[in-house]
Amino acid sequence: MAECHPVGFQWVMEAKARGAKVIHVDPRFTRTSALADVHVPLRAGSDIAFLGGIVNYVLQHEKYFRDYVVAYSNAPVILREDFRDTEDLDGVFSGLDTDTRSYDNASWQYEGTEMQAASGERDREYEERTGGGSTVAEAARGEAHGSGGAAIGEGEPERDETLSHPRCVFQVLRRHYARYTPELVEQICGVPQDLFRQVCELVTENSGRERTTAFAYSVGWTQHTVGVQYIRAAAVLQTLLGNIGRPGGGILALRGHASIQGSTDIPTLFNLLPGYIPMPHAHQNQDLEAFVRAEAARKGYWGNMRAYLVSLLKAYWGDAATAGNDFCFDYLPRLTGSHSTYETTMAQLEGACQGYFLFGENPAVGNANSRLMRLGMAQLDWLVVRDFSLIESATWWQDGPEIETGELRTQDIRTEVFFLPAAAHTEKDGSFTNTQRLLQWHHQAVEPPGEARSDLWFAYHLGRIIRQKLAGSADEMDRPVLDLAWNYPTKGEHTEPDAQAVLAEINGHDADGRPLSSYEELKGDGSTACGCWIYCGVYADGVNQAARRKPGREQDWVAAEWAWAWPANRRILNNRASADPEGRPWSERKALVWWDPDKGERGEWSGHDVPDFKKDKAPDHRPPEGATGPEALSGRDPFVMQADGKAWLYVPSGLTDGPLPAHYEPQDSPFPNLLYAQQRNPVRHLLPALPDNRYQPSGTEPGSEVFPYVATTYRLTEHHTAGGMSRWQPYLAELQPEFFCEVSPELAAERGLEHTGWATIVSARAVIEARVLVTDRMTPLRVHGRTLHQVGLPYHWGPNGYSTGDAANELVHLSLDPNTHIQETKAFAVDIRPGRRPRGPASLELVRAYRARAGIDEHTGTEP
Amino acid sequence: MGVRTWIDSWPVYRQLTGTDPLGRGAAAKSGRSARLEPRVATADRVVKSVCPYCAVGCGQNVYVQDGRVTQIEGDPDSPVSRGRLCPKGAASLQLTTGDAREHHVLYRRPYGTEWERLDLDRAMDMIADRVIEARRAGWQWEVDETRTRRTLGIASLGGATLDNEENYLIKKLFTALGAIQIENQARV
């Protein structure tokens, strides 16, 4: 955090100055470790074993916050009799179909009920819930055909408040983690038992009524074939300790782009519509009603999905969207399986995808298996790159690595490339959503230079021109384009669209055009329009709330009048959980919101933050029989987005790879799985093992020894992601002038690597070279009874700009997390040797020779 | 320059007679450094902004003089950052005003070996034509007899460095065009 979010880290240091203990768990010793009380180096790719070990410690030593767990989590809920855990099936859960590499999650359900997850893969139970409508069987994964299927059960789940029923979640959890002992953590993670116990004690001593512990992770946790389960493991632990929804608690994702949160909330993502409404999958005879029936939860705020979706359709298609035409629901294109970045590359290689836009992203060096990304772009008819400078994704046809190896010749590449210079943040109005969900408005200072324009300008005018060209078309295909509500006021010499008018559309308005102030006002009858329901309120009263800038020093610690946080300007989510079931703070020290019986007519929620709860819903409120949506939440259901209002220790549906986190080895690992016979996540999302995307043997498989070291990629303070905003800046280039790798003195001695000399790093995909930084910040670990060396690879580089070097992402395979389709850049196996890499065709030959030595073919590493 | 001024400008004299006997402050100050003022002092305007790098969201003050950005500093008002910027945020001036930025549209024709200049309006028109054509070529009304109403012909990548309003228009337009392969840095 000190490396990648240095200014945010000042608050960690503030906490430390007040007595907080800071624990840093990372394979490397970094600037964060230097300021932490405890640094725990561990093997990259072993975090679930580590976190599972802490969960086991908490359960064994009765350190959980019992009152919180019983009242606010699903610990007391009883599971179906046919559920089988990884302990029963040696590493897999019940419902696994090895042919389709997917789980049927019917047996994961609660006894006597059915759930829909708050987000994620909500299409799984479609057929059961709609009573028909077959799905396209294209992708052999949970989100597409037939893997879902909870039997629909009505009524409340069965509970055992004593937590003793053998099939209750709490007891299942206890059995699931019973073998995650300190001895095992030491073996798998390379963390000595004493150090591990110290972490367990620090975390548990600092949790409970009076104290809370926070987990902060950078998104490296997500970059694994079990990435979602990493976060889930932290969620299980934090729920058991009562650290969610309370000040100083939580699981905090430290994200790495100015508006990466915003671009997830208002997604430029294939599987989502604004506000986490899922993009519809293809089903026969699917209308709005069937979609909502399948996707909306019965209880909680997702029960109102129809209002959110209809309001979005009204924002998209305006007057053309009417009750008579299902509010243009049919205009939404349909998914058939995954269409993520990496499938798009496959579609380019196959020739299906002909045109590609890049908006400030640099996949030629920034995406996993960068070489495949470039080869995909070389098959395009046309490519539009919008950026500040000539990044590698704009120039691969001229000077990319494949030109050097002779695989591609510039004059043979037919791709037409448009480079359009982009406006900087100082040259446009707009809002970024930061990592704590805070929308902050930045104001335009000057006009963009030359032909540089904002992406708002580009999107608006591209749409305007396309609509002009299609005007008068009677083709049904063109109706959604022509019916689109696309009238935005423009201003200035460049006819720049008014960003505030777009924000107003995102916020939403009623039938008379009045701005809405809360998503509670949204209707499913077409009388409201709202471009993103969770952002409703950011333009309340016609005022840009994101532009509020009352100085922090003039406010309390919540600083509620600085900018605006979604939802409803709430700064801590699920904060009803900061009070006990009766509505009193768990402790005065940790008070955040509470029930004030003297406020309002019959009492109201009050406190420092905006209560994440209906303000007049009393703690003793019991919903009437048959209530649905938010009305079905009782006064003691703090997790209002969940279908049962509870924090989920166990996830009955919504995840493709299991209801509980289990330790699996990374796709490419030098080690066998000590916990289960199952080596890897059985339903990990494997892209085709093309010659350029071969997987490696692991563990005890022959050939595994060819790649004996674990590599992990990361960022440096002085550079940003794939370098498009930092390698062209002389100051930053001077601070970190070229690509390097970090190795321990022991590994340097073992492989003859010299400090400041060169190293060649090889995987089954590629070979790269890097300057060598020999440092004892890299610690050799004892794993499975032997010494393991790890190789650190910052990933900012490419051949362009002032600061140059090979891209670490060249080395990475395309085996992905099955829930999120994120690549495994944080743990893979490599070889490292002294000297520079070969040039030209010889570099391809070297990779081929490694594959041959390791006996790699298209089947290697693809077993379920 | 009068004699008095001349003597006063002599650092040793000031060190012996003034408030800085160790000669480490006012006494050592030259006439030139005394006349220096921060480049932000003469700014015409200060524009409130947000750092464009990571997701912490540090506040920035953008100083504008004669229609040009002259300096970018941390905003002390921000309860997020309290005026601090990291090395990247502190390099924002170079990012936004540095000479590494391209100011013109560049075009590489099929099989071409060099960039060419292209007028922005012409580029927009050509791109619009290509979108319409690729959209049509990759159109799928149905897949396996199930309605999909979409195109695989065009795809888009990126958005995490953009504004919410920009992402909103991109998603809205591309969805209306039937494109589904819309992605950003959230997965990398």
pLDDT (tens digit per residue) in B61-71: 999 999 999 99
d(CA A240, CA A256): 29
Residue with tokens 């798998």: A188
For residue A142, pLDDT beyond 50: no
What would the pLDDT profile of A476-503 be if each residue is shown by its tens digit?
Answer: 999 999 999 999 999 999 999 999 999 9
Residue B44, token pair as written in the block: 């015409």
Q: What is the pLDDT of residue A790?
A: 98
Q: What is the pLDDT of residue B11?
A: 86
Q: What is the pLDDT of residue A298?
A: 78
d(CA A445, CA B124): 25
Query: Are the C-beta atoms of residues A259 and B167 closer than 8 Å to each other?
Result: yes
- Give the closest of B53, B108, B180 to A397, CB-based: B108
Helix segments in A80-164, DSSP class H? 126-130
For residue B18, pLDDT beyond 90: no
Tell me the pairing of strands A215-218 and A251-254. parallel
| B contact residues 72-101, partner A, Cβ 8 Å cutoff | 72, 76-82, 84-92, 94-96, 98, 100-101
- Name the CA dihedral angle for B157, B159, B164, B167, rounded to a multiple of 10 degrees: -10
Q: Any chain A CB within 8 A of the CB of B2?
A: no
Q: Any chain B CB within 8 A of the CB of A259?
A: yes
For residue A47, pLDDT beyond 60: yes
- Percent of chain A having pLDDT more than 70? 95
Fold of A341-436+449-480: Rossmann fold (3.40.50)
Residue A712, token pair as written in the block: 């992990």
- Options 2.20.25.90, 3.40.50.1170, 3.40.309.10, 2.40.50.1070; CATH for B45-97 is 2.20.25.90
Q: Give the residue-averaged pLDDT of A612-627.
A: 94
Q: What is the pLDDT of residue A125?
A: 59
For residue A744, pLDDT beyond 50: yes
For residue A133, pLDDT beyond 60: no
Q: What is the pLDDT of residue A123?
A: 59
Of residues A273, A534, A548, A358, the one with CA closest to residue B168:
A273
Q: What is the pLDDT of residue A137?
A: 34
What would the pLDDT profile of A553-579 be if each residue is shown by its tens digit?
Answer: 999 999 999 999 999 999 999 999 999
What would the pLDDT profile of A216-251 be if each residue is shown by its tens digit?
Answer: 998 899 999 999 999 999 999 999 999 999 999 999
Q: Which of B86, B131, B162 to mutate: most A Cβ within 10 Å?
A: B162
Q: What is the pLDDT of residue A643?
A: 84
Q: Give the residue-averaged pLDDT of B103-124.
A: 98
**Confidence grade of residue B26 (pLDDT, cut at 50, 70, 90):** confident
> Distance, in angstroms, between B39 CA and closest chain A CA?
17
d(CA A124, CA A141): 10
Of residues A318, A333, A352, A238, the one with CA closest to residue A639:
A238
Q: What is the pLDDT of residue B14?
A: 87
Tell me the pairing of strands A758-762 and A767-774. antiparallel
Which phi and psi angles does B118 have, rounded to 5°?
A: -145, 135
Mean pLDDT of chain A: 94
Domain boundaries, chain A: 341-436+449-480, 685-853
Of residues A410, A386, A425, the one with CA closest to residue B102:
A386
Q: Any chain B CB within 8 A of the CB of A463?
A: yes
Query: Are the C-beta atoms of residues A605 and A613 closer than 8 Å to each other?
Result: yes
The angle at the Cα of B117, spanning B114 to B121, to the nearest 5 degrees, equals 140
Mean pLDDT of chain B: 95
- Options 1.10.1060.10, 1.10.240.10, 3.30.420.40, 2.40.40.20; CATH for A685-853 is 2.40.40.20
Q: What is the pLDDT of residue A143?
A: 33
Q: What is the pLDDT of residue A122?
A: 52
> Distance, in angstroms, between A499 CA and closest chain B CA?
6
A280-298 core/surface letters (b: 16 or more CB in 10 A; e: else)? bbbbeebebebbbebbbbb
| B contact residues 146-165, partner A, Cβ 8 Å cutoff | 146-165
For residue A523, pLDDT beyond 60: yes
* Ranges A291-295, A342-346, B142-146, B177-181: which has the least confidence: A291-295
Q: Any chain B CB within 8 A of the CB of A505?
A: yes
Q: Which of B80, B120, B168, B180 to mutate: most A Cβ within 10 Å?
A: B168
Q: Give the residue-averaged pLDDT of B169-176.
A: 98
For residue A653, pLDDT beyond 50: yes
Q: Any chain A CB within 8 A of the CB of B53?
A: yes
What would the pLDDT profile of A66-121 be if each residue is shown by its tens digit?
Answer: 999 999 999 999 999 999 999 999 999 999 999 999 999 989 999 987 555 554 45
For residue A837, pLDDT beyond 80: yes
> Distance, in angstroms, between B17 CA and closest chain A CA?
41
Q: Do B105 and A420 touch (CB under 8 A)?
A: yes
**Confidence grade of residue A515 (pLDDT, cut at 50, 70, 90):** very high
What would the pLDDT profile of A583-618 be if each residue is shown by its tens digit?
Answer: 999 999 999 999 999 999 999 999 999 999 999 999
d(CA A255, CA A434): 8
Q: Nearest-CA residue of chain A relative to B120?
A: A451
Q: Give the residue-averaged pLDDT of A544-548.
A: 98
Of residues A387, A455, A462, A397, the one with CA closest to residue A419:
A387
The total of other beta-carbon atoms located within 10 Å of residue B41's CB is: 8
Domain boundaries, chain B: 3-35, 45-97, 119-187
Q: Do A258 and B48 touch (CB under 8 A)?
A: no
